[in-house]
C-alpha cells in the first residue's frame, strides 16, 4: 500500500492541464468524498500498527500534494484568463482610434522647409530669448534708431539687454558669426511682438527667414529664388517686387504674387486687385555683413522673410489668425487629410 501511495504522489505531481473541467475531475478523483484519499484512509485503519507511521505520513503528503496541485492549476488558469481578458481576442479587428492631426502652422512650416531644401537651403534655429545685439544692433539697428519702433518689443525686466525676439533674423546673425560663406540657410521659428490681438494680428506668430551669402550674389538671384518658391508653394508664376524699407537690407522690397480674380473670395482677399503681399526681401546691408565679421567687399547676399500664419491663411482660406491658437479640435480636425 505504501508503494501505491508513493506512485499516486508521482502521478499528482506530474499532472498538467489547462482545462477547468479536467481540474475539477482531478480534484474529485483525489479529494472528493468518494475519492482515492477517502478510500486509502479507510484502508489505513486496518493496517498493521508497525506500518502506520510511514503510511500515514505518505497519505498526508498525497493529500497535500493533491490540494496544492489543484490550487496551482486554478491560479494558472485564472492568470491566463485575466491576461486574455486584458488584451482581448487578438484576432478581432481593433477598436477604432481617433487619428490626430498636424497643426496647420506645422504643415505649412514643413512645406516651406521642403521647398527650400530642394535648392540647397539648410535649417538653422536659435533662442527665443535674445539679446539686444543679435536682435537689433547687429542688424543695423543701433540704440535709439527710429526703426526700432517698427517692432513693439517684449523686454525682460530683470535684464534690459534681454528680450523676446521680434524676428528670426537674429538666428541669421548667429549663423553668420559661426559659419563662413557660402551661406544658404532658412530660419523658421516663433517670434513675439507687443501688438493687439485681432483677426489679422497676434502677439505671437511664426516666421521663416532665408539668407544666402556668396560671391557675386545679385538681386536677380533673389528674384529667381522667390519666383521658384511661389511656383512650388502656391502654383503661381507671376510676382512683383515693390520698393520698401528694412534696416538690414538695401535695397529692400515687398513681394506680391498675382492671386487672380476668379472667385468672390479672390476679390475679397486681394481687395479687388488680384495681388497679395506675401513677404519682404532685399540685399543684405554691408553693415550687417561687417557686424558678423564677413567682408562686404568680397561677399554679397540676399535675405527674405515671411509669416507662416499668413501663408497658412492664404492656402487654407482661414479668416481669423486667432483660430491657430485656440486649440479648437473642430478646427484642427479639418487638417487630417494633409498629414
The region that residue 317 occupies, defined by phi over 0 for left and psi between -120 and 50 for alpha, beta otherwise, is left
Is residue 31 within 8 Å of residue 59, measured between CB atoms?
no
Q: In the prediction, which pLDDT does 35 show? A: 76
d(CA 244, CA 254): 6
The model carries a pTM of 0.69
Per-residue pLDDT of 131-165, as tens digits, reads: 999 999 999 987 777 767 766 888 888 787 899 99
Cis-peptide into 115, omega within 30 deg: no
C-alpha cell recorded at residue 263: 472667385
Mapped onto helix, strand or coil, the DSSP state of residue 3 is: helix
Domains of the chain by residue range: 2-87, 104-338
d(CA 279, CA 273): 17
Q: In the prediction, which pLDDT does 207 show? A: 96
Q: What are phi and psi of 305, to 5 degrees?
A: -155, 145
Q: Which CATH superfamily is domain 104-338 in?
A: Bira Bifunctional Protein; Domain 2 (3.30.930.10)
d(CA 167, CA 154): 12
**Mean pLDDT in residue range 229-242:** 93
Per-residue pLDDT of 100-139, as tens digits, reads: 788 999 999 999 999 999 999 999 999 999 999 999 999 9
Binned at pLDDT 50, 70 and 90, residue 6 comes out as: confident
Per-residue pLDDT of 272-328, as tens digits, reads: 999 999 999 999 999 999 999 999 999 999 999 999 999 999 888 898 999 999 988
Q: List the strands of the sheet with 275-284, edge to edge.
A: 122-123, 183-192, 204-214, 300-307, 275-284, 249-258, 239-246
Select the more confidently predicted residue: 46 or 129: 129
Q: List beta partners, residue 183.
A: 213
C-alpha cell recorded at residue 154: 517684449
Amino acid at each position: 500500500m505504501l508503494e501505491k501511495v508513493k506512485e499516486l504522489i508521482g502521478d499528482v505531481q506530474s499532472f498538467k492541464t489547462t482545462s477547468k473541467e479536467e481540474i475539477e475531475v482531478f480534484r474529485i478523483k483525489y479529494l472528493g468524498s468518494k475519492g482515492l484519499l477517502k478510500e486509502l484512509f479507510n484502508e489505513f485503519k486496518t493496517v498493521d500498527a508497525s506500518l502506520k507511521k510511514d503510511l500515514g505520513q505518505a497519505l498526508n503528503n498525497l493529500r497535500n500534494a493533491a490540494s496544492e496541485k489543484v490550487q496551482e492549476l486554478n491560479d494558472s488558469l485564472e492568470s491566463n484568463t485575466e491576461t486574455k481578458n486584458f488584451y482581448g481576442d487578438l484576432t478581432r479587428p481593433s477598436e477604432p482610434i481617433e487619428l490626430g492631426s498636424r497643426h496647420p502652422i506645422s504643415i505649412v512650416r514643413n512645406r516651406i522647409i521642403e521647398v527650400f531644401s530642394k535648392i540647397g537651403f539648410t535649417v538653422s534655429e536659435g533662442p527665443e530669448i535674445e539679446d539686444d545685439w543679435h536682435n537689433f544692433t547687429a542688424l543695423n539697428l543701433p540704440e535709439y534708431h527710429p526703426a526700432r519702433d517698427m517692432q513693439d518689443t517684449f523686454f525682460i525686466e530683470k535684464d534690459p539687454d534681454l528680450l523676446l525676439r521680434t524676428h528670426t533674423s537674429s538666428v541669421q546673425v548667429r549663423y553668420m558669426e559661426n559659419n563662413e560663406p557660402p551661406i544658404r540657410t532658412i530660419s523658421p521659428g516663433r517670434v513675439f511682438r507687443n501688438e493687439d490681438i485681432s483677426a489679422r494680428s497676434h502677439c505671437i506668430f511664426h516666421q521663416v527667414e532665408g539668407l544666402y551669402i556668396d560671391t557675386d550674389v545679385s538681386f536677380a538671384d533673389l528674384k529667381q529664388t522667390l519666383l521658384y518658391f511661389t511656383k512650388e508653394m502656391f502654383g503661381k508664376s507671376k510676382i512683383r517686387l515693390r520698393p520698401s524699407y528694412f534696416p538690414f537690407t538695401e535695397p529692400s522690397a515687398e513681394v506680391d504674387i498675382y492671386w487672380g480674380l476668379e472667385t468672390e473670395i479672390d476679390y475679397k482677399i486681394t481687395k479687388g486687385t488680384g495681388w497679395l503681399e506675401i513677404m519682404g526681401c532685399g540685399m543684405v546691408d554691408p553693415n550687417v555683413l561687417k557686424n558678423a565679421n564677413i567682408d562686404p567687399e568680397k561677399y554679397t547676399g540676399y535675405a527674405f522673410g515671411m509669416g507662416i500664419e499668413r501663408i497658412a491663411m492664404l492656402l487654407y482660406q482661414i479668416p481669423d489668425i486667432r483660430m491657430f491658437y485656440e486649440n479648437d479640435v473642430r478646427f484642427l480636425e479639418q487638417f487630417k487629410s494633409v498629414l
